Amino acid sequence: MASNKKAPLGSIENPIKFMDQDFKTILEECLKSGQLFCDSTFPAEQKSIGMPEDADPKKAIKWQRPKEISENAVFVEGTTGTTDICQGQLGNCWLLAALSCLTMHPTLFVKVVPPSQSLKKPYAGIFHFRFWQYGEWVEVVVDDRLPVREGRLLFSYSHTRHEYWSALVEKAYAKLVGSYGSLKGGNISEGMEDFTGGIAYSLNVSSRTPRVLWRSLTAALSRGSLLSCFIEASSYHDVGKVTGDGLIKGHAYAITDTDKVKKASDEILLLRLRNPWGFVEYRGPWSDKGKEWDDLDKAEKERIDLKKREDGEFWISAEDFSSLFDIVELCSVNPDTLVEGTTPASPSSPAAPSTWTISEHEGLWITGSSAGGSRRYKKSFWKNPQFELVLTEQDQPEEDDEDDDDEDDDDEEEEMTPEEKKRAEKQKQKAKQCTVLVEMLQKNRRQKDKVHFLYIAFHIYKVPSELQGMCLDRTFFMKNRPVGRSGKYQAQRGVWRKLHLDPGNYIIVASTYRPNNTGEFFVRIFSKTGNTLGTQDFTCSSGYLPVMATPSLPEDHVRVEKTFETEAGPDDRLNAKELMNMFNSVLDRDYHLPLETCRQLIFGEDTKGRSSLSRKQTETLLSSLRNLQSIFFQFDEDSSGTMSPFELSTALEAVGMQCDGQVAQLLSARFASGDLHMPFHGFVSCVTRLRTLFALYESESSQEVKDRGINSWLLQFLVL
């Protein structure tokens, strides 16, 4: 019996509607009115192109629908294939190479390109596509007006020039990121992940022998992984240069198939690649023009579907591939397909059980608060967002399980070599551990025609039992080294690592290389059943009064008495201005308080409705200020009269107040007034405000308020 339960929002069955546009509703409205859809959220204007307009009127861009461009226009011509995609006048080979890979996997393809879309009647000029975005599937609606220059599509087109599905996918993705110009430059893995929701990673070609590499890539293709490759350019000027073999440096190629052929007594291992341009092909051995095919049986050529035409697709031997290419990019649909030889060929097969659980979190790096930089910045690294990872269940890694060591998997020899014995021993150790895969992606880094990725990485630390549940401070990170990391800081969208860790408690610290780099990020952790992930935050608390109860100095007592004799009115009390004059005559110049802070200090005391303080209250408050000055001075290491907001949490702890990450971020933003350094009066205002809120919470009788907790209370009132 079918369940009527609706799929969760953000799933492939129930994607989030981008810009709140519902495809079915718009389609029905257009069919009813007889009007073709015109998308006002991504208009047929230059701003959607996202690049400077060409001054030559002959090169003016027109926006036309497929049937206006080509009489024989179709959405899909026959079946979808790699040659449906050719790169136009836009540097987005990374995206189109990923799209070429996607066409090789029909079950994945229909997730991105929903079926039953056509240019035939009933036709309303509207199409929809789905992309994975940081843990959620998003549906993007577009009209079919496409940019045209001199009668031809400006950007992606099909080899036959009659087919339009790839151009419309490109338009939908451009809308998702802001403009066509925002697609310029990128990593193939970015497109692969957004088309599948999978895990993308890089493999150095030189790390394996040609035969082992070929076998690994063949297995990856059979498991439904997307594969692409490129030759590294030594400099920016080398990008796009064509080598003597007809290959393009810094350019993304899709790996669409592998095969092997017999030539005399030799077995030749081959890979099939595709250039997203749709032309400019490899000219070496086993290419379309290679003479090596002449000695091959006709049946063998037909079996591997050899097509000797300029379509961007070609074969290359594993030996030549290994000597010419540098990097292979792979995208596995789930962690199980990262394990060679253990999963069925179909990535979406229900018969492929997965014991992995996924935990997902979004985070922020905020200037002066949670953007602490790398480990070299010892004073602020600990302020980076921390995520708690609890590993309880050991798991049995698969026999060929590859982790971050990235060792060769060569089992051709019958007898175990010393190296294989070493690996077998290591496998026994893994069996006592927990397998975990951590990936971190930075968000929203495509702006107009520029891609600005921060240098990012994450580190994993083992937490001793006595510190579990606590926010780890600077002292912990000074004394402990990470047990795992993503590797060197990299300026790309995502970094990941697969690790085997002992059962226990850990924290994952997400960071940018330099402090104060503002950004958003997404972390997902794949682990075996029974392991959990949470944010490393805690319940805010205050021990303010005991800490602040310090005896007043004799000279302060004299100063208070003298001030009251000369300044106090008939009620024997001081108002805010009189209080300011007295405090500033006692405190060092760098620690003087403005009138507004003095008003806040008065309202933080029990004045029974008055806006002034008694002698005793003034003397107690001055003693408290002396204490705050001492604590502030401790963190004002350069004697500038200001304190880095990174140290705010620690300074508050010295006062006796412990605040979680969100509360500390709000305090920093409010009382540092947007500056990177907080003056003394900002610190005083911060403490005064917190002290009042803690006291109000303690006096609160509402059970609903108590159930929500102190953290929620503080966040609610700090924004007022």
For the domain that residue 374 is a member of, what is the CATH number? 2.60.120.380
Q: Is the per-residue pLDDT at 219 higher than 80? A: yes
CA distances from 354 to 78, 198, 348 (A): 35, 14, 11
Q: Is the per-residue pLDDT at 384 higher than 80? A: yes
Other CB atoms within a 10 A radius of the CB of residue 213 amount to 23
Q: Is the per-residue pLDDT at 466 higher than 50? A: yes
Whether residues 308 and 372 share a domain: the answer is: no
Tokens of 617: 């209250």
Residue 346: predicted pLDDT: 35
Catalogue the long-range contacts made by 610-613 (C-beta closer than 8 Å, 24 or more residues apart): 610/573, 611/575, 611/576, 612/571, 612/573, 612/574, 612/575, 612/576, 613/573, 613/574, 613/579
Whether residues 270 and 307 share a domain: the answer is: yes
CA distances from 66 to 123, 248, 512 (A): 12, 31, 45
3-state DSSP assignment of residue 146: strand
Q: Is the per-residue pLDDT at 38 higher than 90? A: yes
H or E stretch at 443: strand 434-443
Distance CA(66)–CA(588), nearest Å, equals 75
Least confident of 83-87, 129-133, 268-272: 83-87
Tokens of 684: 């005083």
Tell which of 492, 521, 536 closes a domain.
536
Other CB atoms within a 10 A radius of the CB of residue 216 amount to 20
Residue 26: predicted pLDDT: 95
More confident residue, 243 or 236: 243
Q: Is the per-residue pLDDT at 406 higher than 60? A: no
Whether residues 585 and 647 share a domain: the answer is: yes
Residue 84: predicted pLDDT: 57
At residue 442 the predicted structure's pLDDT band, cuts being 50, 70 and 90, is: very high
Catalytic-role residue among 251, 361, 459, 681: 251
Mean pLDDT of 268-292: 81
More confident residue, 272 or 251: 272
Least confident of 144-158, 476-490, 501-515, 547-561: 547-561
Mean pLDDT of 165-186: 88
Residue 661: predicted pLDDT: 67
CATH of the domain at 244: 3.90.70.10
Tokens of 61: 């861009």
Residue 133: predicted pLDDT: 93
H or E stretch at 450: strand 450-451
Catalytic-role residue among 30, 86, 93, 659: 93
Residue 446: predicted pLDDT: 78
Question: Does residue 407 lie in a domain region?
Answer: no
Nearest to 391 by CA among 427, 360, 435: 435
Tell which of 503, 536, 569 closes a domain.
536
Mean pLDDT of 529-540: 60
Residue 93 a catalytic site member = yes
Residue 105 a catalytic site member = no
Distance CA(650)–CA(474), nearest Å, equals 9
Whether residues 150 and 240 share a domain: the answer is: no
Catalytic-role residue among 92, 275, 384, 575: 275
Distance CA(161)–CA(69), nearest Å, equals 10
Residue 546: predicted pLDDT: 42
Mean pLDDT of 375-400: 78
Tokens of 283: 């000219």
At residue 454 the predicted structure's pLDDT band, cuts being 50, 70 and 90, is: very high
Q: Is the per-residue pLDDT at 151 higher than 90? A: no
Alpha carbons within 13 angstroms on the beta-carbon side of residue 714 total: 27
Whether residues 548 and 674 share a domain: the answer is: yes
At residue 417 the predicted structure's pLDDT band, cuts being 50, 70 and 90, is: low
- Report how many domains make up the chain: 4
β-pair partners for 141: 128
Whether residues 487 and 561 share a domain: the answer is: no
Query: E strands within 538-635?
Result: 541-542
pLDDT per residue over 297-343, tens digit each?
Answer: 777 777 776 666 556 788 899 999 999 999 898 888 766 555 443 33
Tokens of 73: 């226009």
Whether residues 153 and 28 share a domain: the answer is: yes
Residue 309: predicted pLDDT: 59
Q: Is the per-residue pLDDT at 82 higher than 60? A: no
Q: Is the per-residue pLDDT at 511 higher than 90? A: yes
Q: Is the per-residue pLDDT at 529 higher than 70? A: no
Task: Check whether the bond before 122 is cis (ω within 30° of 0).
Answer: yes
At residue 140 the predicted structure's pLDDT band, cuts being 50, 70 and 90, is: very high
Mean pLDDT of 282-293: 81
Question: Does residue 342 lie in a domain region?
Answer: no
Mean pLDDT of 10-21: 92
**CB within 8 Å of 290: residues ≥ 6 apart:** 284
Least confident of 197-211, 281-295, 401-415, 634-648: 401-415
Whether residues 166 and 218 share a domain: the answer is: no
Q: Is the per-residue pLDDT at 199 higher than 60? A: yes
Tokens of 171: 């338009």
pLDDT per residue over 577-636, tens digit each?
Answer: 888 888 888 887 878 888 998 888 888 888 787 888 888 888 888 888 888 888 888 877
Distance CA(170)–CA(106), nearest Å, equals 18
At residue 674 the predicted structure's pLDDT band, cuts being 50, 70 and 90, is: low
Residue 605: predicted pLDDT: 83
Question: Does residue 11 lie in a domain region?
Answer: no
Cβ(385)–Cβ(472) under 8 Å?
A: no
Q: Is the per-residue pLDDT at 166 higher than 80? A: yes
Write down the mean pLDDT value for the chain: 79
136-143 and 16-17 as β-strands: parallel, antiparallel, unpaired? parallel
Question: Does residue 694 lie in a domain region?
Answer: yes
Cβ(115)–Cβ(129) under 8 Å?
A: no
Cβ(355)–Cβ(529) under 8 Å?
A: yes
Distance CA(77)–CA(70), nearest Å, equals 13
Tell which of 138, 153, 183 closes a domain.
183
Question: Does residue 4 lie in a domain region?
Answer: no
Place of tokens 């004394």: 479
Q: Is the per-residue pLDDT at 547 higher than 70? A: no
More confident residue, 428 or 299: 299
CATH of the domain at 710: 1.10.238.10
- Going across the sheet that includes 519-528, the strands are 356-365, 519-528, 434-443, 494-501
Residue 503: predicted pLDDT: 86
Q: Is the per-residue pLDDT at 514 higher than 70? A: yes
∠ CA(388), CA(392), CA(393), 5° rounding?
Answer: 135
CA distances from 191 to 101, 154, 268, 276 (A): 10, 20, 31, 14
At residue 430 the predicted structure's pLDDT band, cuts being 50, 70 and 90, is: low
Residue 581 a catalytic site member = no
State which residues form the domain around 524.
356-402+428-536
Residue 456: predicted pLDDT: 96
Kindly report the three-state secondary structure assignment for every residue of 409-435.
CCCCCCCCCHHHHHHHHHHHHHCCCEE
Residue 599 is classified by DSSP as: H
At residue 676 the predicted structure's pLDDT band, cuts being 50, 70 and 90, is: low
Residue 169: predicted pLDDT: 92
Residue 293 is classified by DSSP as: G
Other CB atoms within a 10 A radius of the CB of residue 352 amount to 18
Whether residues 645 and 705 share a domain: the answer is: yes
Question: Does residue 413 lie in a domain region?
Answer: no
Whether residues 547 and 511 share a domain: the answer is: no
Question: Does residue 432 lie in a domain region?
Answer: yes
Residue 411: predicted pLDDT: 31
β-pair partners for 337: none
Whether residues 531 and 551 share a domain: the answer is: no
At residue 544 the predicted structure's pLDDT band, cuts being 50, 70 and 90, is: low
Whether residues 107 and 204 share a domain: the answer is: no
Residue 677: predicted pLDDT: 72
State residue 496 phi and psi, 5-degree precision.
-150, 165
Question: Does residue 470 lie in a domain region?
Answer: yes
At residue 203 the predicted structure's pLDDT band, cuts being 50, 70 and 90, is: confident
